[in-house]
Structure 1
Amino acid sequence: MTGLLLKNVSKVYKEGNEEVKAMDNVSLSIEQGEFVAIIGPSGSGKSTLLSIAGALLHASTGEVIINGTDIASLSEKQLSNVRLKEIGFILQTSNLIPYLTVLDQLLVVKRMTGSVSVADKSFARELLTELGLGAKLNNYPSQLSGGERQRTAIARAFMNNSSIILADEPTASLDSNRAHEVVQLISKEVKARDKAAIMVTHDERMLGYCDRIYRMEDGLLKHVENHQASV
């Protein structure tokens, strides 16, 4: 089943009297259980694509379909609900809340959508244990390594059982060993939990964990055939 579908999406910005196309007629389909990478130079449109896929930015033209719903027609309140319930974000830095424990970093996500149940607490512990953080549940971010903080952020992205995972340069602040560990864990969770996932990255060493690879340049998206990436 298709989790995320972009159909002929363009994004145009005005700079003075000129129009700049950050995205130019981009189409992309990602099935549940697929982990797709997007590479390309700075300013190529990668962040714009991720923002549109994440319901953070409106497309100028085209359709953005999440679980069968074209989000272009939704109100701001409805879009906020889509971001909260349907999309898990993993950013360049973990962006953890300093005064919350590792377990509470996940539970606060559930509090945003209502109350926290016993099942929610159990699921949070399950996620954190799967990601090697079972012994760190009561630790604060300042007590974690960089890799542990990013793993906590991965668990948080999966906490609402979102159908789509969007990772923006998730290894930017990590050394090579931690970077491989983090992307491998994202890939594993995407497969195990049947999510549709996009990773924007400059680090081509991570591409071996992905099912498909696309290159974005000058707002155009092209599938990369037979990319040689080592894991």
Structure 2
Amino acid sequence: MTKGLQISGVTKYYAEGSGRIAALDHVSLKVEPGEFVAVVGPSGSGKSTFLSIAGALLRPSEGEVTVNGQLISKLSDRELSKIRLQEIGFIMQSSNLVPYLNVLDQVLIVKRMSGRVSKEDKAFAIQLLEELGLGSKLKSYPEELSGGEKQRTAIARALSNNPNVILADEPTASLDTKRAHEVVELIAHEVKSRRKAAIMVTHDERMLEYCDKIYRMEDGTLSLLQTNQREAMNLVKV
């Protein structure tokens, strides 16, 4: 069984007038458990489409996506919803916290969506929050948190169902340099220690040092940059 995330020959077409354009063009990528991968590239290069397909939010026109050994490209909408809930954790540009829920309930909301919340679920959520430095913030509401604390809460929420795949979309977009490093370092630590397959889409060159591999998306195609961090960062700037 193929663990982690595997994307094989994925193409996504969109209609344009009487023709069509390829937002993604035969993209292939494999992310192993415990591997943290960055995807960089200019706006309009296909990164958002790529992440939506990797996260079972969008179906590819061609190609296959496998999550933790399960081929998801041909699943029904209901089955895809189950995959998103059980196998994939999302960390978005903004933390997207619910204003009227405290930190602990923010993390437990994923469990509530999939059914009842057990004592074990609550204990796991508290453990996650303590690991992420939020043990004293369990009863705090979003308006009482800093930007970094909000993103750390979002990381805990993404991990709360113990998914096999983590997808982060510009997780440092609203953070200063210090907070950005803290957040991505925490993501990297959780990916390694919990053996998750993780992809981070980012424009933030400061964060590439935490990643095992760096890919560049341009005009719908994906290519591997050098994994030497300094050289890769120079290539990103081109």
* Structure 2 length-normalised TM: 0.95
Across the two proteins, how many residue pairs are aligned to each other? 230
1:193 deviates by: 0.5
- Shift in Å, 1:164: 0.3
Give the match for residue 154 of structure 1. Answer: 155
Q: Which runs of 4+ in 1 moved over 6 A?
A: none
Cα deviation 1:140-197 (Å, max 9, x = unaligned):
0000011100100000000000000000000000011100000000000000110000
- How far residue 130 of structure 1 moved from its aligned partner, in angstroms, is 0.4
Alignment partner, residue 179 of structure 1? 180
CA-atom RMSD in angstroms: 1.1
2:86 counterpart residue number: 85
The 5 Å alignment of 1:28-47 reads 28-47=29-48
TM-score by structure 1 length? 0.98
Aligned to 1:6: 7
Deviation at 1:44, TM superposition (A): 0.4
1:92–1:173 Cα contact (<8 Å) kept: yes
Once the two structures are TM-superposed, the CA of residue 227 in structure 1 deviates from its matched residue by 4.0
Using the TM superposition, name which of 219-228 and 209-218 deviates more.
219-228
Q: Which runs of 5+ in 1 are unaligned?
A: none
Aligned to 2:19: 18
Trace 1:188-199 onto structure 2 (pairs within 5 A): 188-199=189-200
Task: Indicate the residue corresponding to 2:139 in structure 1.
Answer: 138
The answer for unaligned runs of 5 or more in structure 2 is none
Distance in 1, Cα, partners of 2:221 & 2:209:
23
Q: Which amino acid aligns with 1:26?
A: V
Q: Which residue of 2 aligns with 1:124?
A: 125
Once residues 143 and 99 of structure 2 are traced to their aligned partners in structure 1, the CA distance between those partners, rounded to angstroms, is: 7
Contact 1:2 1:29 survives alignment (8 Å): no
Asked whether the equivalents of residues 36 and 210 of structure 1 are also in contact (C-alpha less than 8 Å), the reply is: yes
Equivalent positions of 1:58-97 (< 5 A) are 58-97=59-98
> d(CA) in 1 for partners of 2:165 and 2:119?
24
| Percent identity of paired positions between Structure 1 and Structure 2 | 65
Q: Does 1:220 align with 2:221?
A: yes
Secondary structure in 2 aligned to 1:92?
coil
The whole-number CA distance in structure 2 between the counterparts of 1:219 and 1:111 is: 37
Deviation at 1:2, TM superposition (A): 3.1
CA distance in 2, matches of 1:111, 1:93: 22
